[in-house]
């Protein structure tokens, strides 16, 4: 097995090594593979979580030989690894890498792949178990799945398992998602399909369920009686960089909401599952998605805000607007920002709005969920120096600093009654040490172990697209007349602030650690 060096992922964190298998990566010559997948698999190897009988087969159009691909992987791992690469671990790892060159549309590629899989089974003892990872452009998803099925590579017999991992986006609207699901079902059983969302590989996302259901002090108040509203912010400081061609076909709504953000919302809003078995968790997530109030043509504008960034300043540097980015149309209507007000029609959340926002070129990189509670009655403090009571908050920080904080009020020391905000903060790095990861380690490991809990089921994908499809239709029918409507380095368009302001609320600034200090200074005597 791999060397004994310390690793980013440990056996204690996950469990024992996975069983024998070959991981086939379609799109092995792309950025996702070299920047994230190979480093993540190496971390599993260094953490002794890969089986002794393991192999990787890279599949791509680039004309590499196996030896050339191994040499390229060795160069890449030293550039993109999340920790120091140990020679003993890498030497074990790189000997298990193979390569098959070809066009994804060409049936001959899959004949060649079958031969290569036979070679890995003979040389590495992988026992015929295969994990096919589609790290390709979305246009190739149905092509590869159909070809794998036609070649008989997805058939499971003699207790040999075959699984397929599909990267997001899973479709670009509701009809395409339904069509892709249909194609996948023709070649695979649902239990063979792992629709991956790397956000669910983050520890804090996974910790949402533990935080809610393993602590008796939180779940009793996690409902409409005590919660005023919920905010989800996924802010990116980067622009589209060199991905303008892709982003023009996607935009913020398609790119982030049906997958990343809805996953966060379902984990925060779902009922307790009867177990942590995949179907039990997915059933409860699916119920939340189906309970979201549908958007009408009118609410697609009153409850949804779109934005596109113009030029601005970030960290003291001038940056270009979206329409000036490479491969972006000069009059582009693609939104780089979206804010929504969602309402979940069930017993737990009726009347509690869920506000979400996501955008590029924001003031800071931040992903957080804010549970803001209702204010208590003020009557007790009427004849004191307290002017108003601040709402309590639970803030779940997903990135860049993973952790959870609880904001509440305490009395400021002194002879008069004044209140100050207190912040109780937990950070993963303080309690469990720093474990830099790519975000894919747990997910890849779960795929090998056959645990689909952190992946999307077909009905969840279609339910997510059902929510956003009316917004896509309305925005396509009525072009935005004010793009660009927010400057790079800001927190988005004014319409997003108005979305909350008309409900008497405001967005929480993700850069502020503590709750606002409402009454830290003396107020006029109101006794």
Residue whose entry in the numeric block shows the structure tokens 């004191």: 384
Give CA 426 to chain center in angstroms.
21
DSSP 490: B
- Cα 182 from Cα 284, distance rounded (Å): 23
The three-state secondary structure class of 177 is helix
- 260: annotated active-site residue: yes
Q: Quick check: bond before 20 cis, omega within 30?
A: no
Which value, in Å, is the radius of gyration of the alpha carbons in the chain?
25
Phi-psi region of 456 (alpha: psi -120 to 50; beta: other; left: phi over 0): beta
Run of H or E including 88: helix 87-94
Q: Are 454 and 200 spatial neighbours (Cβ–Cβ below 8 Å)?
A: yes
Contacts of 137 (CB under 8 A, 6+ apart): 27
Closest CA to 337 of 296, 298, 299, 308: 308
Q: How many residues does the chain have?
A: 527
DSSP 124: H
- Cα 101 from Cα 62, distance rounded (Å): 6
Closest CA to 327 of 385, 270, 249: 249
The three-state secondary structure class of 180 is helix
Q: Which of 53, 260, 282, 385 is catalytic?
A: 260
Run of H or E including 229: strand 227-235
Run of H or E including 60: strand 54-60
Retrieve residue 63's tokens. 């004309």
- Cα 447 from Cα 488, distance rounded (Å): 38
Q: Count CB-CB contacts under 10 A for residue 366.
A: 19
The torsion defined by the Cα of 93, 96, 102 and 104, in degrees rounded to 10, comes to -80
Strand duo 97-101 + 54-60: pairing: parallel
Q: Which residues are catalytic?
A: 260
């Amino acid at each position: 097995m791999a060397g004994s060096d310390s690793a980013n992922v440990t056996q204690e964190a996950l469990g024992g090594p996975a069983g024998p298998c070959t991981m086939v990566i379609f799109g092995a010559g792309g950025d996702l593979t070299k920047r994230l997948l190979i480093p993540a698999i190496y971390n599993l190897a260094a953490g002794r979580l890969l089986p002794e009988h393991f192999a990787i087969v890279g599949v791509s159009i680039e004309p590499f030989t196996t030896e050339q691909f191994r040499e390229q992987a060795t160069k890449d791992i030293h550039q993109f690894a999340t920790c120091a690469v140990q020679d003993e671990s890498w030497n074990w790892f790189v000997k298990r890498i193979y390569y098959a060159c070809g066009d994804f549309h060409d049936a001959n590629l899959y004949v060649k792949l079958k031969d290569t899989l036979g070679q890995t089974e003979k040389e590495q003892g992988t026992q015929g178990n295969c994990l096919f990872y589609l790290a390709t452009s979305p246009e190739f998803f149905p092509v590869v799945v159909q070809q794998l099925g036609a070649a008989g590579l997805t058939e499971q017999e003699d207790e040999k398992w075959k699984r397929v991992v599909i990267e997001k986006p899973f479709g670009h609207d509701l009809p395409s998602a339904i069509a892709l699901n249909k194609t996948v079902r023709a070649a695979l059983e649902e239990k063979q399909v792992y629709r991956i969302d790397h956000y669910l590989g983050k520890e804090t996302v996974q910790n949402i369920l533990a935080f809610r259901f393993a602590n008796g002090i939180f779940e009793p108040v996690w409902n409409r009686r005590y919660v005023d509203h919920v905010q989800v912010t996924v802010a990116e400081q980067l622009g589209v960089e060199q991905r303008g061609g892709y982003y023009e076909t996607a935009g913020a709504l398609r790119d982030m909401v049906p997958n990343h953000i809805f996953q966060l919302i379902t984990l925060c809003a779902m009922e307790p599952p009867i177990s942590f078995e995949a179907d039990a968790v997915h059933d409860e997530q699916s119920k939340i998605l189906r309970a979201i109030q549908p958007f009408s043509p009118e609410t697609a504008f009153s409850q949804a805000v779109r934005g596109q960034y113009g030029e601005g300043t970030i960290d003291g540097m001038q940056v270009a607007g979206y329409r000036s980015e490479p491969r972006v149309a000069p009059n582009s209507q693609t939104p780089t920002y979206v804010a929504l007000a969602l309402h979940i029609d069930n017993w737990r959340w009726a009347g509690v709005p869920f506000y979400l926002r996501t955008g590029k070129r924001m003031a800071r990189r931040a992903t957080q969920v804010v549970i803001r509670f209702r204010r208590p009655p003020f009557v007790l403090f009427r004849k004191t120096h307290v002017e108003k009571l601040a709402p309590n908050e639970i803030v779940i920080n997903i990135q860049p600093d993973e952790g959870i904080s609880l904001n509440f009020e305490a009395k400021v020391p002194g002879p008069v009654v004044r209140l100050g905000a207190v912040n109780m903060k937990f950070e993963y790095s303080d309690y469990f040490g720093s474990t830099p990861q790519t975000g894919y380690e747990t997910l890849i490991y779960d795929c090998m172990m056959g645990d689909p809990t952190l992946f999307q089921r077909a009905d969840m994908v279609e339910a997510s697209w059902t929510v956003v499809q009316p917004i896509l239709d309305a925005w396509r029918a009525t072009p935005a007349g004010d793009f660009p409507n927010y400057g790079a380095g800001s927190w988005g368009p004014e319409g997003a602030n108005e979305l909350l302001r008309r409900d008497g609320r405001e967005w929480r600034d993700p850069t502020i650690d503590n709750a606002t200090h409402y009454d830290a200074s003396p107020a006029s005597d109101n006794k």
